[in-house]
Structure 1
Amino acid sequence: MAKVNDIYVIGKNEELISALGEHINESFQVHFITATDLKKYNAQIVILLNSNNSAVDDAQVVLSDSPNASIICLNDEEDFELLRGLIRLGISDYYVFPGEELIFQEHLEILAREVKQRIEKADETESFKRGGGKIFAFYSGSGGTGKSLLSTTFAQTLKLESTAKVLFIDLNLQFGGAETFLGIDSNRSIIDLLPVIDELNEPHLRNIAEKEEHSDLNVLVSPRDAEMAEKINDEFIIKLLRASKRSYDFIIVDLPNWIDERVFTVLEEAYRIYYVMDIDTVAIRVLKGVENLFHRLGIITDDRLELVMNFKGKDKELTKKDMDRFVSYTIAAEIRKDIKNVQSYINQGETLRKEAQEKKLTPVAKDIHKWVNSMLK
């Protein structure tokens, strides 16, 4: 029977660390982390190693950052005060080493299978048309790929063609871009969430987000200010994404073409990474460089990263068949080159989409419509 393999361990008790290594099944992948780093991971099972009564404080952090995680506490002596504190928090899985190693091993195996079943059941019952807080990150290692236009039109189309609640986040913090493609002129931006980031909820998000007039898409606009952008760190991004996942079905994030802690955080949290690229050998070289960087940073791309081929046309150096030979990733969509029509819309401050089931669409809008519909089926 399938089970969860990743176990996250918090605590600095060297004796318990040694004992845990001896009594945990080799099929588990054990990750030793700090309580503050837990928010970077999608932890399902967390083991707390008590040291100087640290377990209760660590448990409170886990319950705050990963409320769905199953928690086990290990201690090196009987401590009823500690156990009482854990029970108050709703944690009853408490084992003392030495003495209860076998009971712990059996319980961990059972728990790993139960958690896996719970995840699979949730995946089966959750309709893809209602995203359940899925994050779609648009990224490219090159500028000028049309990423921002595609991401905004993708979000707008997703909102128009479904009943889902959709949020678009522009994380091009220095220069923006989304507001141009969505015809939005706003004095509010993502920066305005800073005072409430620790208690962020749906009303806060809706108060700051702008509504795109044709689709009612919620948009968190970039501050378009390098100095203001420095105030946003990776912890802000994590809290923003977690709150957004609780409030929206789909969260579309347009990322800049570099990697820093904020971009890394989004890529780690993303359900799907759409890598936008041109169709030529230079773009393939850049993709290989990005792939190597992702590998070094530990960003998992298997089954998460898909390619979006932009500027498709007869004048292109390569075809889709060529791309299939050179890259191993799934090609999610091919978007035709249509600079004349697109430029006209942008110059007039109009969006590529205005209503559901439009009959007259530009080639770019048609291709994105086809892509979104195939995803929603």
Structure 2
Amino acid sequence: MENKLNIMIVSDEDALMSQLKTIAETKSEQVIGVRSNEAVREMNREMAHIVIFGQTDTDTSVEVVQMLKIINPNALILFIANASDFGLLRNMTRAGADEFFVFPEEAGLFSSRFPNIVKSYAAKKAKNEESAAPTFGRGRGKIISFYSGKGGSGCSLLAASFAQTMKLESSAEVILIDLNGQFGGVETLLSIESNRSLADLQPVIEELNESHIRNVSQTQEHSKMEVLISPCDAEILETLDEEFIAKLLRTCRRSFDYVVVDLPSSINGLVVTAMEESDKIYYVLTPDTPSLKIMKHYEELSERLGLVLTSRMEIALNKLSKNFEVKQKDLKNVLRYPIIASIRQDTKGLQSFINQGQPVRKQAKERKLIPFAKDIRKFARQVAKQ
């Protein structure tokens, strides 16, 4: 049971990091080490059950521990101090630290107590999971990004339809964020008219909360899903930076169960930040050679940028048709990532919806669904089970 626990070690000192890793790896196979300035982003990306936090040289330790506890209230936080300090102990306890050790004096005590601490936490976690009802948890939403390196692959349509279906098929709180700056696009697919965009959140980004987001977002008429529209102005888009996107996504994660992000095909700082914050990246791939070649370039670029795609990226095959020379069974032997969805080409069924600017789903239980909508429903249900 302990081997399934994710343990995150936070330290800015290499020697302490190495020492703590040696101890942690005796009880779990999933141990990662990060610097203090990367801890919050890593916790958002990959939920850690146990955090061993080494005191930093700055006064940010308390703030970071508070943020980690907000992201995962059930996390067990073990704080390692450099010296005995009653004031620090009090502040850390208030911030959410569960245990307090002083290194190097109590290194032996920590090493001997750690196995029992992990065992007790694992037992408590299992008990809570057995008694908990299968409901959507607040405060730890899932960020899902849709991306394709090739324009015209249907990425925006898939993202919008997926988000709409997730809202109709479940009791989850869903928000769709359009990062396709410059000209937008999602509002046209969902029949939304508004002169407000996510750029209007800039003045309040430092104290951003759910109320601010709902004041700017638009509620889709049929599903009641929230939609944050992209600014249809390249000049305004240039005023947004990576920090803005990171804070926006983290706040949405705490306020919604599913945060669906529609990304542009171009790669820039905003797109990379959104990908880093995402729990899942669904790469929209059409079954043709140019698309496969572009995806390979994307994989190589991600590796150079340090984007971790393993276990996070899955393929959504779009526009599948008997007329295509490349078949799905052929792609399975070529692709490095699993295929999570297969969406049939449905030009005849989709055309009227796209031309009228209407979503393909309007009700929770619709009898006559076009093939595209049926495939999206299957896709959404599969994701909801994960």
Q: Residues 1-377 of structure 1 correspond to what in structure 2 (within 5 A)?
A: 1-3=1-3, 4=5, 6-11=7-12, 17-18=14-15, 21-22=18-19, 24-25=21-22, 27=25, 29=31, 31-34=33-36, 36-42=37-43, 44-51=50-57, 54=58, 56-64=59-67, 66-67=69-70, 68=72, 69-91=75-97, 93-112=99-118, 125=132, 127=134, 133-376=141-384
CA distance in 2 between partners of 1:357 and 1:347 (Å): 24
Asked whether the 8 Å contact 2:163–2:260 carries over to 1, the reply is: yes
Shift of residue 307 of structure 1?
1.1
Deviation at 1:275, TM superposition (A): 0.9
Matched residues in 2 for 1:194 and 1:11: separation? 31
What is the CA–CA distance in structure 2 between the aligned matches of 1:118 and 1:141, rounded to whole Å? Answer: 44
In 2 relative to 1, CA 58–146 (structure 1 residues): closer, same or farther, beyond 3 Å? same
Deviation at 1:167, TM superposition (A): 0.8
* Structure 1 residues without counterparts, runs of 5 or longer: none
Q: Percent identity?
A: 40
- Following the alignment from structure 2 to structure 1, what is the Cα–Cα distance between the partners of residues 353 and 361? 10
Report the alpha carbon displacement of residue 20 of structure 1 after superposing the two structures with TM.
5.2
**8 Å contact 1:48–1:59 — kept in the other structure?**
no
Deviation at 1:118, TM superposition (A): 6.6
TM-score (norm 2): 0.84
On the 8 A contact 1:170/1:178 being kept in 2, the answer is: yes
Larger mean CA deviation between 108-117 and 213-222 belongs to 108-117
Q: Is the 8 A contact 2:17 2:33 kept in 1?
A: no
Give the CA deviation at 1:267: 2.0
Per-residue CA deviation, residues 95-140 of structure 1 (Å, 9 max, x unaligned), is: 3333211112234444455566677777774737779512221111
Q: Which runs of 5+ in 2 are unaligned?
A: none
C-alpha contact (below 8 Å) 2:65/2:96 kept by paired residues:
no
| Conservation of the 8 A alpha-carbon contact between 1:39 and 1:66 | no
User: CA separation of 1:139/1:115 partners in 2, compared to 1, >3 Å: closer, same or farther?
Assistant: farther
- Separation in 2 of the partners of 1:286 and 1:157? 29
Supply the distance in 2 between the matched residues of 1:306 and 1:201 (Cα, whole angstroms).
30
Task: In structure 2, give the amino acid aligned to 1:57.
Answer: T
Matches of 2:85 and 2:382, distance apart in 1: 56
SS in 2 for 1:179: helix
Aligned residues: 369
**Is the alpha carbon distance of 1:122 and 1:261 closer, same or farther for their aligned partners in structure 2, counting shifts above 3 Å?**
farther
Change in 2 beyond 3 A, CA 1:147/1:103: same
Rounded to whole Å, the distance in 2 between the matches of 1:7 and 1:277 is 34
1:171 and 1:253 in contact (8 A); partners too: yes
Bigger drift between 185-194 and 130-139 goes to 130-139
CA distance in 1, matches of 2:229, 2:40: 25
Contact 1:5 1:112 in 2 (8 A): no
- TM-score, length of structure 1 as denominator length: 0.86
The Cα of 1:320 is off from its aligned counterpart by 1.1
**Superposed displacement of residue 59, structure 1:** 1.9
1:88 to 1:161, Cα distance in 2 relative to 1, 3 A: closer
| Partner AA of 1:327 in structure 2 | L
Deviates more, 1:104-113 or 1:287-296: 104-113
Deviations 1:126-166 (A, max 9, x none): 73777951222111111110000111111112222222221
Contact 1:170–1:254 (Cα < 8 Å) also in 2:
yes
Q: Within 2, Cα distance between the matches of 1:99 and 1:127?
A: 44
Deviations 1:328-370 (A, max 9, x none): 3222222222234433322222222222322333322222123
Which segment drifts farther, 127-136 or 313-322? 127-136
